[in-house]
Structure 1
Amino acid sequence: MEQANPRHPVALIVGVTGMAGVALTEALNNPTALGGPWTVYGVSRRPIPAWFPSSLLDRHVILDALNKKQTRTILAPLSSQITHVFWVALQVNESEEVNISLNSAMLTNVLDVLTGSADSKLCHVTLQTGTKQYMGPIFDPILSTQIIPHDPPFIEDYPRLPFPNFYYALEDILASKYSLTYSAHRASIIIGASTRSYFNLVLNLAVYALVYALVCKRENYPFRYIGNKYTWEHFWDMSDARVLAEQQIWASVTDKAKNGAFNCTNGDVVTWKMIWKVLCDVFGVEFVEFDENEKFDVAEFMKDKGEVWERIVEENGLYETKMEEITCFGALEMVLKLEIQHVCSMNKSREFGFHGYANTLKSIPEWVHKMRQMKILPP
């Protein structure tokens, strides 16, 4: 299997309008990007939104990767050009078995086309997954009641949990079905900018803070933390989308990293109490200590606030979004009520030569500022 580095690498970012896709698009266009200069193609299910830096794409294609025929028609002409696939696409369902079916079908459909021709140039796939690798299907309503997560800090060589997991399925497809190299990148909670990601933590919390400031602040209604005492006090880590992009590019052109899995976090730890203070400062709301005696259901609180968000969008001339399309407060609340220290080890990455990092408490306001520039959030 020849793995010579191509002289003119062509990247295909599948899921280009999500948080990781935006960061990858910008990182691959950086003159100092490893392996470059890169030609960058992007795939998304819908047209490029106005906030996306479309000038940085050499080509964009609209594609439903679940549609096998459409995938072949659109991608077959590109199979002689694309050298690297950056897989940051995602289909989300409560049932993990459905997640396995949908996400496996998308990955297989795309790679079957890109590897199926005699003049195929594809040599490497980077696969983005996450810490469900170590925690199991935490959103599955049935399986989530049975799983016992690994002890933190999460380490890449932990054995797989005995539960279905679409992350496992995708890694198995890459490891066994295709004669090319791959790398898996296990992100923590991603901090980035997009209205198209299933779970944009900062955007969810920004919407909550902005709605609160408009309808509750004057009534002395506290800006309540939406998790539990455990997460308020214990350590968590996060993944700046820029660090994730940097690691994926590094692995795609570094021989030592081929066919390996790597955690990808900012390299520091924070508590949610620390994060909440930052959010209060960024959005100009008063910080209050968490009171475990005060019960608060953010999904219930926000369920009738769609018109308030529409008002914020209209009055500030923002990119048009519906609150229910850019937030998932039920999932957010569930994550922030876990009773586990959500921390990954970055030792393997460092030992292999990747030293990217970010200051989480500085990263959050930076991404808020970027979403303000993109007119996703008001100034």
Structure 2
Amino acid sequence: MPDVNATAGPLGGLDPIAGAAQHPGVALVAGSAGVIGAHAAAEYARVPGWTVRGAARRAQPDVPWQPLPADLSTADGAREGLAGARDTTHLVFAAYVERGDERQQIEDNTALLRHTLDALADAPLRHVTLYQGGKAYGAHLPGFRTPARESDPRLLVPNFYYAQEDLLRAEAARRGFGVTLLRPEGVVGYATGNPMNILTVVAVHAAISRELGLPLRFPGSRAAAEALYQVTDAELLARATVWAGSAPAADGEVFNVTNGDQFRWAHAYAAIARHLGMEHDEPQDFPLTSVMPMHAETWSRMVERHGLVPTPYEHLVGWAFGDFLFHSGFDNVSSTVKVRRAGFGECLDSVDRFCELLDRLAERGVVPAAR
């Protein structure tokens, strides 16, 4: 049960970092340059008494944690890069590599975890948090059963989530540390140079449409526009991560972690258009991957005129990720009852949060201000 004496958290509900503050440790976030990892590292850095390090291949400038350059794809790279993290008590594993071939996807992502655990063989590990996602339930396949529950059986279709989980649980049993697996869906947040992010897809698509004097249209199928969808705010997921690392009720468990609501893209795009002061029109199905790169020069002019952060266009947005989500014409809903019962009850209105985060991107100079 949640601690009734805990203080309120910034996203509502009881403060999930209270337990972490009572038992400080040393957190290592693998993949801290990504959206999930960066937010997890930042959240741990907020907790009094914690030492926080972040391991990544890409540069991590101006971060509130100790950056560790590390290539976890090889055993030597992990051992050398994590040599300064052998006092780690809490590992947050958010490292990921994208591969087109499923077999290679499984091998390479499992190797990332294996190399990291091996490099921390002498560390006093107390807990490891591993992220999965809706693909564990078949969210990428037709016939996805909703609402998805943590007790649902695995699929026959191979998935690197399963291989990583099996490896982690075996190591936990052998070495005696705790484990929690978190399953977000459609993580919404921002990390510089990380294009696999639906927030930047929406933000840049809207900004270019406004620049060209066009109304905002949902750029996907009508089925996807009307299906129920869910997202996970990166800040909410980070707070769930800190909670899981210290909550006895989280040990050994798998939890769905979403904002706790669902929405339809058709309604979300209409609300986003109103928020940005744009006209809105009916959905218009077209492939983002082939159309939006043709607007690279338009974006370059916008960057110069508005003084935006000069992130390379191809590193700013993952249009293929947008095409995948915007053409999933079936409901995507996960139950969050289990994590609430265990003690993490934070929730957000997803459409309101999209609007807040779009404003934040404009404040940071990632996209032009709407007004």
Alignment TM class, shorter chain as reference: 0.7 to 0.9
Q: What are the within-5 Å matches in structure 2 for residues 33-112 of structure 1?
A: 33=47, 36-49=48-61, 54=63, 56-57=64-65, 59-79=66-86, 81-112=87-118
Identity level (%): 28
Cα separation, 2, equivalents of 1:99 and 1:315? 41
Which 5+ residue runs of structure 1 have no aligned equivalent? 139-146
**Unaligned residue ranges in structure 2 (runs of 5+):** 1-19
Q: Which moved more, 1:191-200 or 1:93-102?
A: 191-200
**Which residue pairs with 1:19 in the alignment?**
35
Q: How far apart in 2 are the matches of 1:64 and 1:129?
A: 21
Task: Tell whether the 8 Å contact from 2:183 to 2:257 is kept in structure 1 after alignment.
Answer: yes
Distance in 2 (CA, whole Å) between partners of 1:261 and 1:156 is: 6
Residue aligning to 2:266: 273
1:13 match: secondary structure:
strand
What amino acid does structure 1 have at the position aligned with 2:347? Y
The correspondence of residues 134-213 of structure 1 with structure 2, limited to 5 A, is 134-135=137-138, 138=140, 147-178=141-172, 179=175, 180-213=177-210
Matched, 1:322 2:312: yes
How far does residue 316 in structure 1 lie from its aligned partner after superposition?
A: 2.3
Counterpart of 1:361 in structure 2 is 351
> For residues 183 and 10 of structure 1, do their structure 2 counterparts lie closer, same or farther at Cα, with a shift above 3 Å needed?
same
What secondary structure, in the 3-state scheme, does the structure 2 residue paired with 1:172 have? helix
- Residue 230 (structure 2) aligns with: 237
Report the CA distance between 1:197 and its aligned residue.
Answer: 3.0
Structure 1 residues 211 and 198: alpha-carbon distance in aligned structure 2, compared to 1, 3 A threshold: closer
Paired residue secondary structure (1:82)? coil
The superposition leaves residues 274-332 of structure 1 with CA deviations (integer Å, 9 ceiling, x where unpaired) of 21023213433211133xxx653332221211122222222222222122222222331
Q: Is the 8 A contact 1:195 1:376 kept in 2?
A: no
Paired AA for residue 309 in structure 1: W
Does the CA contact (< 8 Å) of 1:47 and 1:62 recur in 2?
yes
Summarize the Cα distance change of 1:323–1:232 in structure 2 as closer, same or farther, 3 Å threshold: same
Shift of 1:73: 1.6
Secondary structure, aligned partner of 1:313: helix
Between 1:246-255 and 1:364-373, the stretch displaced more is 364-373
Deviation at 1:246, TM superposition (A): 1.1
**1:123 pairs with 2:117:** no
Does the 8 Å contact 1:210/1:283 carry over to 2?
Answer: no
Query: Counterparts of 2:72 and 2:274 in 1: how far apart (Å)?
Result: 41
Q: Distance in 1 between matches of 2:91 and 2:361?
A: 26
Partners of 2:104 and 2:312 lie apart in 1 by 26
Judged with a 3 Å threshold, the aligned counterparts in structure 2 of structure 1 residues 260 and 100 are, in CA distance, closer, same or farther, namely: same
Shift of 1:231: 2.2
Runs (4 or more) in structure 1 with deviation over 4 Å come to none
Instruction: Identify if the C-alpha distance between structure 1 residues 347 and 295 changes in structure 2 by more than 3 Å, giving closer, same or farther.
Output: closer
Displacement of 1:222 = 4.2
SS at match of 1:61: strand
Question: Against the structure 1 CA distance between its residues 171 and 149, is the aligned structure 2 distance closer, same or farther, given a 3 Å change threshold?
Answer: farther
Task: Please name the residue that 2:242 is paired with.
Answer: 249
By how many angstroms is 1:149 displaced?
4.1
Report the CA distance between 1:21 and its aligned residue.
Answer: 2.3
Deviations for 1:134-174, whole angstroms, at most 9, x for unmatched residues? 116x4xxxxxxxx5543111111111110111111111111
* 1:85 shift after superposition: 0.9
Residues of 2 paired with 1:156 and 1:328: CA distance? Answer: 29
C-alpha separation in 2, matches of 1:163 and 1:328: 25
Q: Which secondary structure does the structure 1 equivalent of 2:120 belong to?
A: helix
